[in-house]
Structure 1
Amino acid sequence: MGPKTLKSKPEGNIDEDPLDIAIKDVQNGAGLHLDSDEDSGSDDGAESQLVLNKEHSNGRAPMKAAGFLCMESHDGKTQSENPNAETMQKLQKMATSYGRTGDQWRTRAFRQAIGKLRKQGELIRTSHQARAVGIGESIALQIEEIVSTGKYRRLEYAQNDPRNQIVKLFMGVYGAGETTAQKWIAQGYRCLAEVYEKADLNVNQRVGIEHYDDFLQRIPRGEVEQHAAVVEKALKAADPNLQLIIGGSYRRGSKDSGDIDCIIFMPEAGISHIRTLMLDAVIPGLMAQGFLKVVLASGSFSDDGSSKWHGASALPGANVWRRIDFLFVPWAELGAALIYFTGNDLFNRSMRFLAGKKQMRLNQHGLFKDVMRGRGRQRINDGTLIEGHDEKQIFEILGVPYRPPEERNV
């Protein structure tokens, strides 16, 4: 008897809308060359546009970005109900390993395979079944090995490679990305103590090593709310109209977060006024009371155009430092900023990909029409702003139903 006919996992009782299709397209590799000013947005510490240097983030962004496709469903629940969950988890670890070494071709192939497995309602056991749902032969054979033996030799080799283990260790340092990790290895360092004592570290990297374990810990949802409450009290003291929304994975309903994204805004206010209040009153006050511990990235002056502040905070009486970001958002751009700083990465890319298909452009500032592009999709003009303030209106203009934040875990 031949292999059983596989049925795709049901997607619901309604037809797919253009955003569903865009998500699948991006899962399969479309939209890889989006505009440089329209990167992925915030996702649990992996902000692309907020960084003041290319390796800011927290050293773990490449690993996180690789994990979005298989670890969470659209409603924020884990994929434990999926019969292929264990296979996807192991393939994801392999993709992360390839991504860490800069092998983007294999990383993409594994992500595509994970995306296809995620849509299946039955366990894919054999390489024949895997190929039948569109997975390439090499990964199909690896899937068969995982299911039939419970082992994954390729992943074991990668995880046991001493160099890979050291790269992973070093990339966990705040302010140290893959390039820096490889440089430290080339300089002969093999542990954090050696790096701390001998390497030429900037201030952020030194803090990153001193609080390495703190920054690697996930932050429980309740604690995120406690940090935000302290900030909100300081906001109201500076100006009763200042408001805060917690972004990132918290807004998507996750039980814990990698850092705390505080989206700061004020009705009818522009960026300059908000920034002045934050940098001249709120942040110094929180520093003085000991809640904010260190500045990791910020503009130097209240009028320098900066729209963010990165640092670390600790609750009263607590020794653990948490990564916290303040994102200053003008009222006119609030809706676009909420989409951008809520994530996740794949959802944001899919929204921008959909906008591009409609000759529009979406970034953290707004949705623009009449965007002209030349050869290689090089943007010729910025287009005309259609909507920036209203999050739901942006969805409506793009012709898709509004997706609540908890449904953006794609």
Structure 2
Amino acid sequence: MQKGCLDGARVFLCPEGVGGKRRALFAAAVARLGGRLAPHPRGATHLVLEEPPGPDGPHPDGPDTFVVSNRWLSECIKQEQKVDEREFQFASRPSKRAAPQTMPSDAAEAKVSRPDSVDEEAAQEDSAPNSVVIRELKRLATAYRNSGDQWRNFAYTKAISAIECHKKPIRSYEEALALPGLGEKMASKVWELLQTGQLKKTEELCQTEEARVLALFNKVWGVGPTTAQNWFALGFRTLQDLHNKASLSRQQSIGLRYFEEINTKIPREEVEAVTETIRVAATKLEPDVWLETCGSFRRGKQLCGDIDVVISLPIESKGFLQRLLALLKDCNFIIEDLSGSSDRSHKFLGICQPAAGIHRRLDLFVVPWKERACALVHYTGSGHFNRSLRRLAIKKNMVLSEHSLVAADGSLVPTDSENDVFNALGVQFRAPIDREHALEVVENIS
């Protein structure tokens, strides 16, 4: 590396969007190249940011200050010399007096109130031994999912799961290659990240206009990769474009209307309050009702994307879900129905408005009593874990679903509890908090 190529440079590394470990890599590189870290934007010669600065973001102290993407610093590291800032320069920041939006902001993340638990969870992610690698691979996995490339999305998420389970820093290409689910190409990407703090593939795939627009459109409830790509091909670029020009389904219109709120993570305390509201209403109808909040909440996450509640009754009560929904709608708790629930439906997908006032995504599943255990396993997740259980069942000539565990002769395996499901598959019981990753990643199952 050419020492001294950043002599005289005072570099401010904006912490927004950059994890602690990745920032430490950049800071060390600045020092090795002869530059100095600026503790504040004032007096800095270079402001290095992950994203273009917003109205309240850091801004240059004068006309000679460069406001550049952190790709500029990565290129300096890769090329071992100072590269031209102009190729990586952000435009001037927008004025705070810009006209107000009539639609939700087109920012990738919602701007509704940010609970303290968001910062706590981000800090936990940054403290993971391989957080830089995990964060960048997640960006790629999301980009592939948004473009409809499910195979590559699956390959990246599988690799991410293995790296998350590796509880020590990866020190070499060979160490990465030895992890389950990582081939030579993936191990090379991991090693590139560890050496430079950046991945060329991420920049190629995630920094294009198409990638940014697809990421935005895929966050609208009811929109998948194909629809998002069609909208991009039609020239739509913002949420306002969708509102003004796109032909939207009823569900997509609702998803667009509540875009920012339902894309805001839900703290555990709020999930608990929503569950209690549903429990009170359900017990008014059927005192013996059983219900469990599943999904990421049951897996112990501090923040949840939506609220999944599984409900069951010892004795079947026809029309129970419809009566429960009517009760919750009468008190203005349930606001929108996204699933078009019929009188015979046992599933509700919709939007509720808790006392906190923010609209939240809510899913209710009413299952037969005898299916309760398999449903609990399924709706708890994670997706990785469920797929690994189903693969294991197939190897044992069984079939596992959210409804039942079926033996090779077609008979139902008795499953009165989650323990029964695990025992029948010959695998040790895993508490919900330990179901984030596939069985193959953490246990010797071939």
Same fold by TM-score greater than 0.5: yes
Q: Alpha carbons of 1:184 and 1:354: their partners in 2 closer, same or farther (altered >3 Å)?
A: same
Matched, 1:299 2:322: no
CA 1:139–1:223: 2 relative to 1, 3 Å:
same
Superposed, 1:4-403 pairs within 5 Å as 82-131=128-177, 135-267=182-314, 269-270=315-316, 273=317, 276-279=319-322, 281-301=323-343, 304=344, 306-316=345-355, 318-370=356-408, 383-403=410-430
SS of aligned partner of 1:254: coil
Structure 1 residue 104: deviation in Å?
Answer: 4.0
Counterparts in 2 of 1:322 and 1:157: CA distance versus 1, 3 Å? same
Of 348-357 and 138-147, the range deviating more from structure 2:
138-147
Judged with a 3 Å threshold, the aligned counterparts in structure 2 of structure 1 residues 142 and 198 are, in CA distance, closer, same or farther, namely same
d(CA) in 2 for partners of 1:83 and 1:232?
Answer: 40
Paired AA for residue 271 in structure 2:
V
CA distance in 1, matches of 2:347, 2:154: 31
Amino acid at match of 2:319: T
Tell whether the 8 Å contact from 2:311 to 2:366 is kept in structure 1 after alignment.
Answer: yes
Shift of 1:312: 0.8
Structure 2 CA distance for aligned equivalents of residues 248 and 113 of structure 1: 22
* Contact 2:374 2:415 survives alignment (8 Å): yes
Cα distance in 2 for residues equivalent to 1:345 and 1:225: 23
Take 1:158 and 1:105, find their aligned partners in 2: how far apart are those partners?
16
State, as a whole percentage, how many aligned pairs show the same letter: 34
Deviation, 1:213, is: 0.4
Alignment partners' CA distance in 2, 1:404 and 1:148: 37
Q: Is the 8 A contact 2:146 2:224 kept in 1?
A: no
Deviation, 1:236, is: 1.3
Q: Secondary structure at the match of 2:357?
A: coil
CA distance in 1, matches of 2:264, 2:225: 20
Say whether the 8 Å CA contact 1:366–1:389 is kept in structure 2. Answer: no
Q: Deviations over 1:301-325 (max 9, x none)?
A: 2xx3x22011111123x43100111
Distance 2:155 2:292 in 1: 36
Q: Judging changes above 3 Å, is the alpha-carbon distance between structure 1 residues 219 and 143 closer, same or farther for their aligned structure 2 residues?
A: same
Report the secondary structure of 2:429's partner residue: coil
Could you list the per-position Cα deviations for residues 246-300 of structure 1 after superposition, in whole angstroms to 9, with x for gaps in the alignment?
Answer: 1111111111211111111112x23xx2x51220x22111111111101111432
Q: Secondary structure at the match of 1:249?
A: helix
Distance 1:128 1:392 in 2: 38
Contact preservation (8 Å) 1:126, 1:140: no
In 1, distance between residues paired with 2:298 and 2:201? Answer: 36
Structure 1 residue 133: deviation in Å? 5.1
Give the counterpart letter for 2:289 in structure 1.
Answer: L
Q: How many residues are aligned here?
A: 314
Say which one has the larger Rg. Answer: 2
- Matched-pair contact (CA < 8 Å) for 2:139–2:206: no
Q: Which residue of 2 aligns with 1:41?
A: none
Which residue number in structure 1 is paired with residue 51 of structure 2?
none
Q: Deviations over 1:35-91 (max 9, x none)?
A: xxxxxxxxxxxxxxxxxxxxxxxxxxxxxxxxxxxxxxxxxx966665323212212
* RMSD of aligned residue pairs (Cα, Å): 2.2
Contact 2:321 2:346 in 1 (8 A): no
* More divergent stretch after superposition (384-393 vs 281-290): 384-393
Query: For residues 130 and 390 of structure 1, what CA distance do their matches in structure 2 show?
Result: 38
State the distance in 1 between where 2:389 and 2:124 align. Answer: 22
- Structure-1 separation of matches of 2:363 and 2:336: 11
- Tell me how far 1:121 sits from its aligned partner: 4.9
1:198 CA drift (Å): 1.6
Length-normalised TM-score, structure 2: 0.66
Structure 2 letter corresponding to 1:207 = I
Structure-1 separation of matches of 2:167 and 2:229? 41
Aligned residue for 1:386, secondary structure, equals coil
Choose 120-129 or 398-407, whichever is displaced more.
120-129
- Unaligned 5+ runs, structure 2: 1-122, 438-446
For CA contacts below 8 A with separation 6 or more, give which structure has more relative contact order: 1
Q: Structure 2 counterpart of 1:180, which letter? A: T
Inter-partner Cα distance in structure 2 for 1:283 and 1:113: 41
Q: Secondary structure of 1:240's partner?
A: coil
- Counterpart CA distance in 1 for 2:367 and 2:376 is 9
2:27 corresponds in structure 1 to none
Distance 2:237 2:377 in 1: 40
SS in 2 for 1:90: helix
Deviation at 1:145, TM superposition (A): 2.4
Aligned with 1:226: secondary structure? helix
- Match of 2:338, SS state, is strand
1:408 is the counterpart of 2:427:
no
